[in-house]
């Protein structure tokens, strides 16, 4: 394992990222396990009310899962930046990201200004 020379706040943020990544991996694994179990053992007697409830649950799970996967990807990318020493720099403009922003959102790849540009929906032509 290489020795990293990073600032104490980066170390703190990296620890939080690792912890969050572990939580998300556990969540995704749990879901994968549940899905396998369900297909292995299909229920043979269900009334319509139960089916509807199960469908709703599946939709919620899928959205949660998609969100967790996206967040995990962002965290993995952030941890990679910790390793290569570019953590805390905006991936767009290269300026340092405000530390308060990093503590609020440790996985963010962009500074406030660039994030605003990324979140802006495509401008409709009038
Ligand atoms: Zn920027």
| pLDDT for the residue numbered 56 | 67
> What pLDDT sits at residue 30?
84
- For residue 58, the CA-to-ligand 1 centroid distance in Å is 37
Cα dist from 17 to 12, 14, 22, 48, whole Å: 9, 5, 9, 43
The maximal CA–CA distance of the chain, rounded, in angstroms, is 60
Q: Where are the domains of the chain?
A: 8-119
- What's the rounded mean pLDDT across residues 59-66? 82
> How much distance in Å is there from the Cα of 97 to the middle of ligand 1?
7
Percent of the chain with pLDDT over 70: 73
Mean pLDDT of 76-81: 97
Phi first, then psi, for residue 89 (nearest 5°) are: -100, 140
Cα(100) to centroid(ligand 1), Å:
15
Residue among 77, 64, 83, 69 at smallest CA distance from 106: 77
Alpha carbon of 21 to ligand 1 centroid (Å) = 24
Q: How far is the CA of 4 from the centre of ligand 1 (A)?
A: 24
Note every long-range contact of 33-42, with CB atoms under 8 Å and residues 24 or more positions apart, other chains counting: none
pLDDT of residue 121: 76
6 alpha carbon to ligand 1 midpoint, in Å? 21
The residues, ordered by sequence, that sit 6+ positions from 88 with a Cβ below 8 Å of its Cβ are 10, 81, 96, 97, 99, 102
Amino acid 35: pLDDT: 52
List C-alpha distances in Å: 6 to 20, 21, 88. 20, 20, 11
Give residue 109 CA to ligand 1 midpoint distance, Å. Answer: 9
User: What local confidence, expressed as pLDDT, does residue 120 receive?
Assistant: 82
pLDDT of 102 higher than 90: yes
| 45 in Cβ contact with 85 (< 8 Å) | no
H/E stretch holding 87 reads none
Distance, CA 117 to ligand 1 centroid (Å)?
9
- CATH for the stretch 8-119: 1.20.120.910
Q: How far is the CA of 93 from the centre of ligand 1 (A)?
A: 4
What is the structure's pLDDT at 10? 95
Weakest mean pLDDT among 41-55, 65-79, 101-115: 41-55
């Amino acid at each position: 394992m290489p020795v990293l020379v990073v600032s104490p706040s980066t170390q703190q943020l990296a620890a939080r990222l690792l912890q969050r990544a572990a939580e998300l991996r556990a969540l995704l694994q749990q879901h994968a396990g549940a899905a396998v179990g369900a297909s292995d053992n299909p229920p043979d007697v269900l009334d319509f009310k139960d089916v509807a409830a199960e469908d709703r649950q599946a939709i919620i799970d899928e959205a949660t899962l998609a969100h967790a996967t996206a967040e995990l990807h962002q965290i993995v990318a952030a941890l990679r930046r910790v390793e290569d020493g570019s953590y805390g720099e905006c991936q767009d403009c290269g300026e340092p990201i405000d530390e308060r922003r990093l503590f609020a959102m440790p996985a963010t790849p962009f500074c406030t200004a660039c994030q605003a540009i990324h979140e802006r929906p495509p401008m409709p032509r009038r």
